[in-house]
Amino acid sequence: MTSERDTVRRELRAVASEARWLKRIATSLFVLEVIIGLGYLVVHGYVHLPL
Amino acid sequence: MITPREPTDLSVEVDLLDGVDVGLRSLFRRLGPIIPADPHVLVTMWPDRRPPTSDELARGIDRLLKRRVLRIIFLAGEPHLTALPRYDTASDGRAGMEHEPAPELVAKGSAPAALGAGAAAAGSTSAEADASAEQMQLELAIDAERERVVLYRVIIVMEVLAALVFARFLWL
């Protein structure tokens, strides 16, 4: 029973770790796309920065 | 005609809770481990000749939820009741709610020995029930994490597709 529970705990840790990594990747991609999008708007003069 | 019982009378409340408890266990045995959490629906399937009103049933279910012998789960967005392993749905009578030493164990033989045996039996049963409940919680947690993984995978795929469309729009 205990070993079975340990197995389940290990599996839970592995799945949770995978979920954390995927979340990091998804967040990074999203931030990168937003930055590139804003950069595009600035470079092509759609948005004027008060510089 | 069924008249609602006075909720302020404590003994009536206890009777009501016992009735709801026995009825719910009978429903679990008959319908399986998951039943709808709708008192109006449950009243129509009630095994007793005198079903509680839906208000009484809702009150009884609330008490059992607070005692943590029942749990609400959502299937297709609809609330359902499921019994935790501590809530023995396989036996008749009232002893299933809390695992107490059987009365005959206490009555026969010398009282201290019988009490000790009863307590040990109850302790081991309780430990097994706790272990089983923990196992169930772990499995539920794994299911939840797997759902998160699937969700993040879908999000990443969508983001990559958006990036490709974006790149084509920018440079091609």
pLDDT for B159 equals 94
Torsion angle in degrees (nearest 10) through CA of B46, B47, B51, B57: -50
Q: For B38-66, what is the mean pLDDT? A: 84
- Which residues, listed in sequence order, are joined to residue B83 by a DSSP beta bridge? B70
Closest Cβ opposite residue B156 in set A26, A36, A40? A26
Mean pLDDT along residues B23-41: 85
- A22/B153 Cβ within 8 A: yes
Position B161 scores a pLDDT of 94
| Choice between A40 and B13, residue whose per-residue pLDDT is larger | A40
Q: Has residue B139 got a pLDDT over 60?
A: yes
In single-letter form, the type of residue at position A44 comes to H
pTM of structure = 0.44
Cβ–Cβ contact B138 with A under 8 A? yes
Check CB contact of B164 with chain A, cutoff 8 Å. no
pLDDT digits (tens), chain A, 51 positions: 678 888 888 999 999 999 999 999 999 999 999 998 898 888 888 888 887
pLDDT of residue A31: 96
Q: Read off the pLDDT band of B25 (50, 70, 90).
A: confident
Confidence at residue B90, expressed as pLDDT on a 0 to 100 scale: 60
pLDDT band at B162 (very low <50, low <70, confident <90, very high): very high
Average model confidence (pLDDT) for chain B? 74
pLDDT beyond 50 at B147: yes
Residues 6+ apart with CB under 8 A from B102: B95, B118, B121
**B10-31 and B54-66 helices cross at what angle (nearest 10)?**
90
Task: Locate B137 and state its tokens.
Answer: 């919680």
Within 7-26 of A, beta carbons closer than 8 Å to B belong to 8-9, 11-12, 15-16, 18-19, 22-23, 25-26
CA-nearest residue to B157 within chain A is A26
**What is the tens place of the pLDDT at every residue in B117-127?**
555 555 566 67
Tens-place pLDDT, residues B63-92: 888 888 888 888 877 888 888 876 666 654
ipTM: 0.84
The shortest C-alpha distance from B113 to chain A (Å) reads 29
Establish if A29 touches chain B: CB-CB under 8 angstroms: yes
Q: Number of residue pairs across A and B with CB atoms under 8 Å?
A: 52
Q: By CA distance, what is B147's nearest residue in A?
A: A19
